[in-house]
Amino acid sequence: MKISRVMFSGRSFYAQHRDGAFVCLDRRLGLKEAIPEDQVTQLPLAVPSKLIHFGPPAPSATSPHISLLPPSAINSGHETVHIPDCATVSFVEPMLAVFFGRQCHCISPADMPPYIFGFSCSMSFSTHIQGLTENDTLAAHAFDGFAPIGPHIETDIEAPEELVAALQKNEENAVSCSFSQLAYSPYEALSMISSIMTINPGDLIVLGDPKWKQRVRENDIITLHIPEIGTLENSVRCDKALAHATVTAVAPDLQ
């Protein structure tokens, strides 16, 4: 089932996308008839309390890389990713987004599937700015709109480790990746996160591997396709209006 989050008549809700129309899934709203696509506004797929980025251990580490990103990093499909003009280099990494439908804590990999609402395509952009976001720090991924997710939530996926993603830049193949190649299977990764923190309904976890990342430049069109889910597409623009900082000292002079 393909699920989108939409707004109709001033109300937002999840709806099934079917035959060019949306069917409201919230029975409390009393919207029994299918709503044509041109009568709704598609919204970001989630407004999570947590957006969690999970990756393999760094070369010098033995534990996975887990970081919390601000929900403002979420970007819908077909929207522009704005990169600060002062960035020295920027990258994009293909990811698998996991949406949670039930609260969970300390759940084993085998018991994880019932807690998952669905899956979607995702990309993680990062940028290096002198004195601010070098060395692929958390801040490099945390800019507004740096986590595109879409085009919808697919609920009928039983084996996410079998998914294969193809990333294109300007209609040319950039990288093909299988989520079976991850250091931890999707369910293992989600279980590890649930052992650290409570995951609430609506929370979002993105899974990937930095070895898949590709360099991006202004005016690039980036497309991520997972056959079982769909296609996510975003353009890249450099934005001179974005605030930036260059750090010239790392500590005050205490003399």
pLDDT exceeds 60 at position 90: yes
Q: What is the pLDDT of residue 243?
A: 52
Task: Assess whether pLDDT exceeds 90 at residue 77.
Answer: no
Give mean pLDDT, residues 185-214.
94
The pLDDT of residue 244 is above 80: no
Distance CA 96, CA 226 (A): 9
pLDDT at 117 over 70: yes
- Check pLDDT > 70 for residue 134: no
DSSP state of 136: G
Question: What does the pLDDT average to over 108-114?
Answer: 96
pLDDT at 251 > cutoff 80:
no
In one-letter notation, the amino acid at residue 233 is E
Using the predicted structure, report yes or no on whether residue 130 has a pLDDT greater than 80.
no
| CA dist., res. 231 & res. 117, Å (int) | 19
pLDDT surpasses 50 at 219: yes
Q: Could you report the per-residue pLDDT of 23-50, keeping only the tens digit for each?
A: 999 999 999 999 999 999 988 898 899 9
Q: What is the percent of the chain where pLDDT is above 90?
A: 69
| Statement: the pTM of the whole predicted model exceeds 0.95 | no
Average pLDDT over residues 3-13: 93
Digit-coded pLDDT (tens) for 138-149: 778 888 999 999
pLDDT at 128 (0 to 100):
86
DSSP code at position 218: T
The pLDDT of 185-208, averaged and rounded, is 95
Report the pLDDT value the prediction gives residue 247, as an integer from 0 to 100. 44
DSSP letter for 186, please. H
Q: What is the pLDDT of residue 242?
A: 59
pLDDT tens column, 62-72: 889 899 999 99
pLDDT at 232: 95
In the predicted model, is pLDDT for residue 4 greater than 90? yes
How many Å apart are CA 75 and CA 48, to the nearest integer? Answer: 13
Task: Determine the pLDDT at residue 236.
Answer: 94
Residue (of 210, 209, 159) closest to 187 by Cα position: 159
User: To which H or E segment does residue 138 belong?
Assistant: helix 138-141
**CB within 8 Å of 237: residues ≥ 6 apart:** 80, 81, 82, 83, 218, 219
Taking alpha carbons only, the member of 244, 115, 92, 97 closest to residue 169 is 92
**Average pLDDT value over all residues in the chain:** 88
